[in-house]
Structure 1
Amino acid sequence: MTHTPVSLESPGSLQSLGRVHFIGIGGVGMSAVARIMVSRGVPVSGSDAKDLPVMHDLAKAGAGISVGYDASNLGDAQTIVAGSAIREDNPELAAARAQGLPVLHRSQALAATMAGHRVVTVAGTHGKSTTTSMVAVLLKEAGLDPTFAIGANVPALGVNAAHGSSDIFVAEADESDGSFLNYCPLIAVVTNVEADHLDHYGTAEAVFASFDSFAALLPADGVLLACADDAGARALAGRTAAKGTTRVLTYGTADDADIRLSDDGPGRVSVTVDGANHGLDLQVPGRHNALNAAAAFGVALELGVDPEVAAAALGHFTGASRRFELKGQAKGVRVYDDYAHHPTEVRAALSAARSVARQNKVHVLFQPHLFSRTREFAAEFAEALDLADTALVLDIYPAREDPIPGVTSALIADKLSKGRLVSQEEAVAAVAGVAGEGDVVLTVGAGDVTAYGPLIVEQLDG
């Protein structure tokens, strides 16, 4: 769904929004914006199809909450915020259109809360939530108390969004629908740039062009912090530097990276900046998380945090919800859950699982997300899943899409060397049946596969 951008009387002014109603307020991104607005005294109401725990939190904070969609839920709202999954025939959205109320995309509403802040945005095809979480935890531990909005709950923070006392605002910037172009960052992190969300962009070239536009949002005194280990992000850094409109810094293991990451042995990494080396004691596994930590470290330095304070603060980050999150263990088997829904992300998650399992086996239960993504990347998904000792594939989670003829999970499963399709009914028993003591089980995907982890633990325990 595409919302028509609106011009506010005072762009970025929360006061100009009046009473704000969120359609789909239970979503992790929508609830983040609502939480910040409530904290700042904005009159907020919202609805969702399901009664979700976050809605109870918002109600306690002062928001008016309704379960189920009905035109009457709008009440006397003056501005509407609609989630990306809301269809045009939604009764509340239809009523808002009929009344001529301004309808904002979530990113526009979030941008309105950023006014007057030094904004740090984290973009990239993968790793946004984890890196944003790392930045927020680091800055909070360093005493800067930022406002933050993240697309995942963060155990170390207790929530996915909060209003802070400083003038720093840290936000995840979602490129999936181009909405990351609604922000005005001072510091922009780009973790990687790959072809994805082709249902929106159409071509890989259009994806790359959108990141060029994102980098162009930076002011002359801003900085682009791009990953030197990713070809797409490195190319973006080169193009942006050539324009000379803003500073560009890189991070990664490459020798020419401004923030150079080094592997110092099992569980130990360090970063070198301006000739000085700083050890990082990370609690999250995987090379991709070490790169994310290097990015967070770079952001902290740009905001004036002492390097040693920044390095120590990173040790307090224990992960983000659905990002290699431990769901439990039984009979010596550890069960993790990960939001990975692109081949590169699946590969990174399985690499992290392999580092945790060591000499033992890794078993993955994968649920493809979107018919279009399955069609575009079936071979790449199969190649990534073959890193596991056992790969079981569920039916596609459609999310916002209608089925595409001929596109099923078999496109992936038929290419696996050691895996197969599995039904919802047999999935839990199938995974538990192959897992032995010391093994790691990973449920992977952006859909409801996350619910299988606790069930697998229960099955193993039983």
Structure 2
Amino acid sequence: MKLDKYHNVYFIGIGGIGMSALARWFNHNGFAVSGYDRTPTSLTNKLIEEGIAIHFDDDVANIPDAVKQNKEESLIIITPAIPKHQKELNYFKDNGFELFKRSQVLGMISSEFHLVAVAGTHGKTTTSSMIAHLLKHAGRDITAFLGGIATNYESNYIANQNKDGKSIAVVEADEFDRSFLTLHPDVAVVTSADADHLDIYGDKTQLEDSFKAFIKQVKASGKLFINEKIAKELVSDDYNRSAHTYGINRGQFFASNITMCNGFFEFNYCDEQCNINNLMLGVPGFHNVENATVAIAVALDLGLSPEEVRAGIESYRGVKRRFEYIIKSEKIIFVDDYAHHPTEIESFLKSLKFMYPDKKVTAIFQPHLFTRTRDFVDGFAESLDLADEVILLDIYPAREEPIEGVTSKIIYDKMQTEKVLINKEELLNHLENENYEVIATIGAGDIDKLVEPIKEHLNEKYHA
């Protein structure tokens, strides 16, 4: 289907991180963009500043007349998170509008580009933003649809300059709801395939089958870069495309000689044809070194020189809420991270402990989803035990209804480290009564709204 037949683009759930990136693409390319979301956020405020009409009342009267009166010229994009009783959603259904998921539209857009798609249950946002930055910093014409706000660009979207079919699209390929199966990449990256979204998949085998299907959609002339730890499980012997493995001290493309330097990670990149020594990564974490390794491999494959790679890696500033320093002083360290799966929490806390081995690490964790808490309670307890102290908040429900017997206490009861279970409203008072050295907020819910109040509190308390 060709997008050029549309004039109006209307989003239901425009404020989501993936939806807003699409909205920016359409706005940049001259479409009349508008939409609804439930509540205003800093992201919706920025979209409004960019000229996109957004309202926050679920009222059919707020839908622009140009959308209602021109069915054939109006593209309606919905997010799966919208409840079935939403009035505007039902207006479009009842009046015969064709509705498209975000993933379907992303597939339409990306088919016009040389597509680099980054998939994985964790690591995909950072890896895709790294690839996009390396290419952009080296002067390549790209467009990028990211699952987080890239610090270098203060956006989840990077706009291409040309429409000659030679531009590169870097997209985050989301496994949720099998969305990534709308994509047919020229280059694919698979960072991880841990059990997750079991409310959608049922079990890990079904999730792995979905990743295998995504891998088979790489174009016949394309390439696959896959984490060496999962290659055997996901890449079949009869796979007839070019598959390459990567990792830390393992795989065909690998990082080695990892050391600490001024709070950041220094490492060597190695493959069969190229060594780039003493790379300085501007964001910390062993997992980020691994992400950088495959980003470098992809960038080199797309024609960047080792010198361009070095300059890009050293200038990369990360993604908001991915090992993001909020305060970094001699008196107190405060880091914020989006980790919401046991594997992600383990990687984050191991890196934090490695960086600050002589300091007490306090983790403030908000579980995300009742089903994820139920399915991975043991993993959450084990990974959180890496911290010296854990402040556990109530579960953030997102799209889910409560499940009887599933609360943060089931994690709390299995943990061995020093711990406390409180609600969000009690947090600042609790912080007042304790002393801290390294403190981290962790989670994918609305814990990000606590970051600024915690920052102000810690700055005042420690004169940071």
Task: Please give the TM-score of this superposition, normalised by the length of structure 2.
Answer: 0.92
| 8 Å contact from structure 2 (residues 12, 37) kept in 1 | yes
Q: For residues 331 and 248 of structure 1, do their structure 2 counterparts lie closer, same or farther at Cα, with a shift above 3 Å needed? A: closer
Indicate the residue corresponding to 1:169 in structure 2.
169
Q: For residues 321 and 233 of structure 1, do their structure 2 counterparts lie closer, same or farther at Cα, with a shift above 3 Å needed? A: farther
Give 1:23's match in structure 2, choosing from 7, 12, 35: 12
Give 2:276's match in structure 1, choosing from 270, 275, 278: 278
Indicate the residue corresponding to 2:450 in structure 1.
452
Indicate the residue corresponding to 1:226 in structure 2.
226
Displacement of 1:329: 5.1
Distance 1:17 1:245 in 2: 38
Q: For residues 409 and 131 of structure 1, do their structure 2 counterparts lie closer, same or farther at Cα, with a shift above 3 Å needed? A: same
Which amino acid in the other structure matches residue 155 of structure 1? T
Distance 1:96 1:385 in 2: 45
5+ residue gaps, structure 1: 1-10
Indicate the residue corresponding to 2:70 in structure 1.
none
Indicate the residue corresponding to 1:252 in structure 2.
247
Displacement of 1:224: 0.8
Q: Which deviates further from its counterpart, 419-428 or 37-46? A: 419-428
1:262 aligns with 2:256: yes
Distance 2:391 2:45 in 1: 36
Percent of aligned positions with the same letter in both sequences?
Answer: 39
Which amino acid in the other structure matches residue 399 of structure 1? A
Indicate the residue corresponding to 1:360 in structure 2.
359
Q: In structure 2, the residue corresponding to 1:328 is in which secondary structure?
A: strand
Q: In structure 1, the residue corresponding to 2:151 is in which secondary structure?
A: coil
Displacement of 1:331: 7.5
| 8 Å contact from structure 1 (residues 188, 225) kept in 2 | yes
Which amino acid in the other structure matches residue 448 of structure 1? D
Residues 248-291 of structure 1: CA deviation (Å, up to 9, x unaligned)? 01111244x11121024222111112253212210111110000
Which amino acid in the other structure matches residue 298 of structure 1? A
Distance 1:207 1:17 in 2: 35
Correspondences of 1:5-404 after superposition (within 5 Å): 11=1, 13-75=2-64, 76-77=66-67, 78-165=74-161, 167-228=167-228, 230=229, 232-237=230-235, 239=236, 242-255=237-250, 257-266=251-260, 267-279=265-277, 280-328=279-327, 332-404=331-403
Which amino acid in the other structure matches residue 101 of structure 2? H
The Cα RMSD (Å) is 1.7
Displacement of 1:452: 2.1
Distance 2:181 2:21 in 1: 19
Residues 336-387 of structure 1: CA deviation (Å, up to 9, x unaligned)? 1111110000111112221332311110000110111101111110100010
| 8 Å contact from structure 2 (residues 216, 239) kept in 1 | no
Which amino acid in the other structure matches residue 179 of structure 1? S
Which amino acid in the other structure matches residue 16 of structure 1? K
Q: In structure 1, the residue corresponding to 2:117 is in which secondary structure?
A: strand
Task: Please give the TM-score of this superposition, normalised by the length of structure 1.
Answer: 0.92
| 8 Å contact from structure 1 (residues 386, 416) kept in 2 | yes
Distance 2:125 2:253 in 1: 21
Residues 298-323 of structure 1: CA deviation (Å, up to 9, x unaligned)? 11012111123113211111110111
- Equivalenced residues, count: 443
Distance 1:135 1:312 in 2: 13
Q: In structure 1, the residue corresponding to 2:177 is in which secondary structure?
A: coil
Residues 7-64 of structure 1: CA deviation (Å, up to 9, x unaligned)? xxxx2x2213441100111111111000011111122111112222333333343322
| 8 Å contact from structure 1 (residues 414, 420) kept in 2 | no
